[in-house]
């Protein structure tokens, strides 16, 4: 069983912000399986699907970005699985806008949501799918940038990146090796 977590902020005012790329991608995963986020548990909205005869949990934490680890820790405990079966999708300012990068483990970089997950789970050993958001043309403080809305002219680029991230997550959860998926999607 895998748990796919899309990071973001739960309020509607954040819906189209850079920090909600993970939420959007998680929605794309749920849509692929025709499931909705009906449950509210473990401080997250949760959708359940079936993939190759195994349960697949898709979650959007309600803890706000900086406390995402609380929800992830609870989900891992409730569903009795380990971080090795966790895939986290999130925005990453360290990557150019619209790029998708997959890593089997690693540090949090500049991302507070990832810092929280690493602190709460006690490990960096879980798959992460990063969606690049850095725009060289924009020069504002990082906190203001990640909470700002995606520019209209860039929206389709980001929606496509979220779709690619969702597809990669489903392939990994479906049993495809992370290094193979990295080869297919990183770039």
Residues forming the active site = 19
Closest CA to 21 of 184, 120, 166, 186: 166
User: Distance between the two ends of the chain, CA-based, in angstroms?
Assistant: 28
Give CB contacts under 8 A, 24+ apart, made by 151-158: 154/97, 154/98, 155/16, 157/97, 157/98, 158/18, 158/21, 158/24, 158/97, 158/98, 158/131, 158/133
Contact of 3 with 79, CB cutoff 8 Å: yes
């Amino acid at each position: 069983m895998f748990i796919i977590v899309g990071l973001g902020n739960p309020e509607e005012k954040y819906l189209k912000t850079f920090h909600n790329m993970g939420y959007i991608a998680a929605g794309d995963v749920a849509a692929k399986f025709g499931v909705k986020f009906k449950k509210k548990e473990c401080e997250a909205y949760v959708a359940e699907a079936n993939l190759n005869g195994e349960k697949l949990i898709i979650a959007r934490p309600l803890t706000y970005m900086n406390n995402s680890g609380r929800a992830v820790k609870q989900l891992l405990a409730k569903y009795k699985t380990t971080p090795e079966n966790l895939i986290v999708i999130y925005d990453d300012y360290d990557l150019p806008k619209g790029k998708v990068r997959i890593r089997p483990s690693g540090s949090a970089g500049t991302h507070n949501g990832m810092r929280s997950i690493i602190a709460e789970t006690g490990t960096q050993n879980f798959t992460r799918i990063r969606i690049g958001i850095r725009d060289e043309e924009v020069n504002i403080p990082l906190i203001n940038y990640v909470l700002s809305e995606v520019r209209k002219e860039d929206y389709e680029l980001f929606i496509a990146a979220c779709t690619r991230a969702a597809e990669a997550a489903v392939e990994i959860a479906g049993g495809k090796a992370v290094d193979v998926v990295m080869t297919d999607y990183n770039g």
